[in-house]
Amino acid sequence: MFEGIDFANKEMFWLLLLLPIAIAWYVFKHKKQTSELSVSTLKGFKLSSSIWPKFRHILFLFRIVALTLLIVAMARPQSVDISTKTKTTRGIDIVMAIDVSASMLAKDLKPNRLEALKNVAGEFINGRPNDRIGLVEYAGESYTKTPITSDKSIVLRSLKEIKYNTIIEGGTAIGMGLATAVNRIKDSKAKSKIIILLTDGVNNSGFIDPNTASELAVEYGIKTYTIGLGTNGMALSPIALGRDGKFQYGRIQVEIDEDLLKEIATSTGGKYFRATDNKKLKEIYKEIDKLEKTDVEEFKFYNYEEKYRPLILLAGLLLLLELMLRFTLFRSFI
């Protein structure tokens, strides 16, 4: 009966404790008012066959029900319709610059560095529903895979399509990867602009110096988080192409220019991370996710609909009915 109904003044239900007292008082008073008369015979009396005296207690029942309805009405039953409106007060634009050189096929992360990155990056993207995200690929040169967009399905599809290929010139052009990411995000109107740059090597190609690209990021107020990907020591990495066109693997020393990545992160107000395994890589993206939060303001609108009026009307009708019956049909029995 009261599904979806809330009561604004629940303390009023304590008044229901008065009803048993009223019932007890009525029973006690009724017995006190009933007198007994002993006679030797009823032959001189005319017996009445009216059934109305048997229903005289219904008047008290009307009054009790009316009082119950009034108490429930004073508790103010109401239904609440809640509508929400979400307002993003601080949007973040993010460009992920991903190294796709052959060394990203190294198997020190499972199944390899590139696939491990794609899995973790996909989770990161899914966890940023209020932000715009873009993708940049780089090896010996760089290009924009996906411009910054709020359509996560496009970004995730593009991320899934990223793989090593021979179309991009070989090498690791960290400066060009960063510069392309800066160029893609520099005109953004977002209050916060972020680049996540990942590499597993050293800058050995490209015509843009990483420090120059870093200075551009500083000029446009773009914070850069850098990630060095690869285990410490030796890693099973591609060393040559076989006759069948597949890579041959061998254990080689992992070389990451950590000093450069730290300098880029520090100068732009970001942070440097080192991911030596799948678990560490996942933790890094979770930490970046915590560091860069979009402020979302939620407004709730409450529409209250009062339900006490029908109860008061019904209680009034019962009391009016009691009075009418008291002074008409039951007048001779009260």
| Residue range 35-71, pLDDT digits in tens | 555 555 555 555 555 555 666 778 888 888 888 888 8
More confident of the two residues 123 and 300: 123
Q: Strand 132-138 vs strand 142-149: parallel, antiparallel, or unpaired?
A: antiparallel
Q: What is the CATH number of the domain that holds 210?
A: 3.40.50.410
pLDDT greater than 80 at residue 1: no
Number of residues that make up the chain: 334
DSSP, collapsed to helix, strand or coil, labels residue 147 as strand
Indicate if 138 and 248 belong to the same structural domain. Answer: yes
| 284: in domain | yes
pLDDT reported for residue 93: 92
User: Against a cut of 0.75, is the pTM above it?
Assistant: no
DSSP, collapsed to helix, strand or coil, labels residue 263 as helix
Indicate if 289 and 140 belong to the same structural domain. Answer: yes
- Asked if 164 and 171 touch (Cβ cutoff 8 Å), the reply is no
| 195: in domain | yes
Judged by phi (left if over 0) then psi (alpha if -120 to 50, else beta), residue 42 lies in alpha
Indicate if 143 and 205 belong to the same structural domain. Answer: yes
Indicate if 163 and 130 belong to the same structural domain. Answer: yes
Band of pLDDT at residue 259, cut at 50, 70 and 90? very high
154-202 pLDDT per residue, tens: 999 999 999 887 767 788 999 999 999 999 999 988 888 999 999 999 9
Indicate if 203 and 254 belong to the same structural domain. Answer: yes
pLDDT reported for residue 32: 61
pLDDT reported for residue 134: 96
Question: Minimum mean pLDDT among 165-169, 202-206, 251-255, 297-301: which range?
Answer: 297-301
| 40: in domain | no
Q: What would the mean pLDDT of 243-255 be, rounded to a whole number?
A: 85
| 202: in domain | yes
| 41: in domain | no
| 43: in domain | no
Q: Looking at the 3D structure of the chain, how many domains does it have? A: 2
Indicate if 96 and 226 belong to the same structural domain. Answer: yes
Indicate if 79 and 96 belong to the same structural domain. Answer: no
**181's tokens:** 């990411």
pLDDT reported for residue 31: 63
| 28: in domain | no
pLDDT greater than 90 at residue 146: yes
Question: Minimum mean pLDDT among 78-82, 88-92, 169-173: which range?
Answer: 88-92
Give the integer Cα–Cα distance in Å for 137 and 146: 9
Q: How far is CA 168 from the centre of its chain?
A: 40
**64's tokens:** 């009790």
DSSP, collapsed to helix, strand or coil, labels residue 210 as helix
Give the integer Cα–Cα distance in Å for 315 and 145: 72
Indicate if 284 and 306 belong to the same structural domain. Answer: no
Give the integer Cα–Cα distance in Å for 301 and 284: 38
Indicate if 143 and 249 belong to the same structural domain. Answer: yes
> DSSP E strands: which ranges in 132-288?
132-138, 142-149, 192-199, 222-229, 234-241, 247-253, 272-275
Indicate if 15 and 129 belong to the same structural domain. Answer: no
| 76: in domain | yes
Q: Which stretch of DSSP H or E encloses residue 297?
A: strand 295-306
Residue 260 is part of which domain span? 92-293
pLDDT reported for residue 42: 56
Indicate if 144 and 8 belong to the same structural domain. Answer: no
Indicate if 263 and 126 belong to the same structural domain. Answer: yes
pLDDT greater than 90 at residue 297: no
